[in-house]
Amino acid sequence: MDNLFYNETELMLSKTVQDFAQDYLVPMAPILDEREEFPMENFHRLASMGLLGITIDEKYGGAGGGFKEFSIVTEEIAKACGATSAIYASHIGLVLQTIAKFGNEEQKSKFLPRLIDGTSIGAWGLTEPDSGSDVASMSTTCIPGDGIYRLNGTKHFITNGDVADTFVIFATQNRELKTKGVNCLVVDRDSPGFQTIKQDGKLGMKASTTAELVFENCSVPQENRLGEENTGFYAAMQILESSRIAIAAQSVGIGQACLEAATKHAITRKTFNNPIASYQAIQWMLADMATEIDAARLLTRRASILKDMNEPHNKEASMAKLFASEAANRAASKAVQILGGYGYFKSSHVERYFRDAKITEIYEGTSEIHRLIISRSIINSASAN
């Protein structure tokens, strides 16, 4: 990291997490990937270091700080283990942020401490089998009555879903109202009428387990609703706007790992008695990777600063997420190319980076969705002037 853009405390945080990640996450990453096994030990180590409490007020057991710190930690974790960074980003960027931002004092005091100390794992349920980017078409319903909501429906592709015990779920109580009829509820795993089904067979991020959530007349107390009635869509959009910064940071971490692996190989690998780093073709690939990753990091930094200043950051977060995710995929492709046959086998970390990188262009809004967000922001701004 460049001292020009990061203060001493941030550099120290980066170094602390980097040392931890290299010592504990790197050795286990390929093993957990092969097993498609949730890294419970990694999760508890993050909790013991106080890293699950970043961005959350100390009165709830949090570590304070903002999205600048959150991005730094996420990048270093992703550089070592993409799957662990996905778990981390979802737990904090989606679950804790939603409760902290929209929960009342009683809800925050009840749910946040156990999510911060690692006693509880969080999952965030928005996506459905027939509803991804089109949130307004969600079919999961929550019908109020007698002090409870009755949930019916299915959520799909939910990170941490099979291991979590605290779920933030979005459901509609009136489908005709579309976005104006959505509620946000905290659901406990042991709620009657609720079950999870693990979804195996992912291309990458395999240790970041994914599940389908099924609700059949699931009973949820009305006091578990976050925010006012029918404001769930607004809450979801607010959280996604900022959580995309974490995915940008994750992408930067994966891209940086690709650059470092490719550079190391280029220096040590020889052809025709020369290291391949001496060839212009390789040099240009490394130059492009380094430039794009640095640009992605700066875009992420800008978005996180705006978020921490409570300034508008929707366009900037989308720019960071779009550019960083595509830069990570380009870096992963170039890393495999530079390593050649070695990069195509599992004995090479870049094979895993290549698979892990792809999802960053898909979740938390596809690249196409972010191009729409950015372009609309530009057009609306120009029209206002």
Let me know whether 109 and 134 are in one domain.
no
**Domain that includes residue 107, residue range:** 8-121
Let me know whether 139 and 112 are in one domain.
no
243: in domain:
yes
160: in domain:
yes
Let me know whether 249 and 132 are in one domain.
no
CATH number at residue 81: 1.10.540.10
d(CA 221, CA 324): 40
CA neighbours within 13 Å on the CB side: how many for 310? 1
pLDDT at 4: 79
pLDDT at 134: 75
Residue after which a domain boundary falls, among 230, 250, 281: 230
- What is the full DSSP assignment across 127-179? -BTTBSS-GGG---EEEEETTEEEEEEEEEEEETTTT-SEEEEEEES-GGGGG
Let me know whether 263 and 362 are in one domain.
yes
2: in domain:
no
Could you list the mean pLDDT of each consecutive 10-residue stretch along the chain, which spans 385 residues? 84 96 96 95 97 97 97 98 98 98 98 98 95 82 96 97 97 91 97 96 96 98 97 95 97 98 97 96 98 98 98 97 98 98 92 98 95 97 89
d(CA 84, CA 383): 43
Let me know whether 330 and 379 are in one domain.
yes
pLDDT at 149: 97
Let me know whether 378 and 304 are in one domain.
yes
CATH number at residue 379: 1.20.140.10
Let me know whether 238 and 334 are in one domain.
yes
221: in domain:
yes
**Is there a catalytic annotation at residue 69?**
no
CATH number at residue 142: 2.40.110.10
Residue 91 tokens read as: 């737990």
356: in domain:
yes
Please tell me the pTM assigned to this model: 0.96
Q: What share of the chain is helix, strand, coil (3-state, %, to 5)?
A: 60, 15, 25
Residue after which a domain boundary falls, among 183, 200, 230: 230
Q: Which residues pair with 145 in a beta bridge?
A: 148
Let me know whether 213 and 240 are in one domain.
no
Let me know whether 371 and 323 are in one domain.
yes
Let me know whether 371 and 251 are in one domain.
yes
Let me know whether 240 and 223 are in one domain.
no
Let me know whether 88 and 156 are in one domain.
no
Residue 88 tokens read as: 């981390």
Helix (H, G, I), strand (E, B) or coil at 121: coil
Instruction: Give how many domains the chain has, as a whole number.
Output: 3
- What is the full DSSP assignment across 309-364? TT---HHHHHHHHHHHHHHHHHHHHHHHHHHGGGGGSTTSHHHHHHHHHHGGGTTT
1: in domain:
no
Q: Which residues pair with 154 in a beta bridge?
A: 214
Residue after which a domain boundary falls, among 121, 142, 157: 121
Which of 241, 326, 364, 368 is an active site residue? 364
3: in domain:
no
